[in-house]
Amino acid sequence: MDIFDKVISVNDNIKEEDKELYKYGLRQGLFIIINLLTTILLGYIFKNVWQAVIFMIAYSPLRVYAGGYHTKTQLRCYIFSMFLTIAVIYANKYIPETNLYIIIITIISCIIVFSLSPVEDRNKPLDKTERTVYRKRSLYVLLVEVILIVILLSIGFKFVALSVSISLLALSLMLIAGKIKNCLAAKS
């Protein structure tokens, strides 16, 4: 019996057939909390806490609907996510905070997200209806984030606008990687 079994066994109101679903939800919740804390810790270590937090806030909602590259295990996902976070933090440090760079990154990212979204994973295939719904939602989130970038640029918060645009770029790269992975899997 693991910790999740013990937590669920405390509540007598959970039906036997629902226990696995609750355990899955608890594991996912714990995984999200660990990712959140690790992202903040990495931001602290690399002296860019705000950029790490902005990345997570901008990246996560779009990732849910747009999809992209997925690893085979949660541990690999965690490790990959931490490397991605570090790469984003470094990109925030070294990409100049100019309107031109922010606009170019945003336009390139929008083209990629618009062209590829959603990119499914073989562990989470999407039917036709789901693809349509996920595409609409990912494009809606993308639109909101682009509007946010424009507002941030117009009020002079370039460092935040850059962080959001780099988040879009990271997501775009994940979509490309996911598409490549899917093509390679289809050939084998």
How far apart CA 62 and CA 69 sit, in angstroms, is 13
Mean pLDDT over 174-187 rounds to: 91
Count the domains in the chain.
1
In this prediction the pTM is 0.87
User: What would the pLDDT profile of 28-58 be if each residue is shown by its tens digit?
Assistant: 888 889 999 999 999 999 999 999 999 999 9
Q: Tokens representing 81?
A: 């996510």
* In-domain check, residue 26: no
From the centroid of its chain, how far is CA 136? 17
* In-domain check, residue 3: no
* In-domain check, residue 73: yes
* In-domain check, residue 22: no
* In-domain check, residue 128: yes
Write b or e for each residue in 118-152: b if 16 or more Cβ atoms lie within 10 A of its Cβ, otherwise e: bbbbeeeebeeeeeeebbebbbebbeebbebbeeb
Mean pLDDT over 140-145 rounds to: 98
* In-domain check, residue 12: no
Asked if the bond preceding 118 is cis, omega within 30° of 0, the reply is yes
Residue 100 has pLDDT above 90, yes or no: yes
Q: Is 119 helix (H, G, I), strand (E, B) or coil?
A: strand
Residue span of the structural domain in which 82 resides: 48-187
* In-domain check, residue 14: no
* In-domain check, residue 29: no
Q: Which of 74-78, 119-123, 131-135 has the highest mean pLDDT?
A: 131-135
- Identity at 67, one-letter amino acid code: G
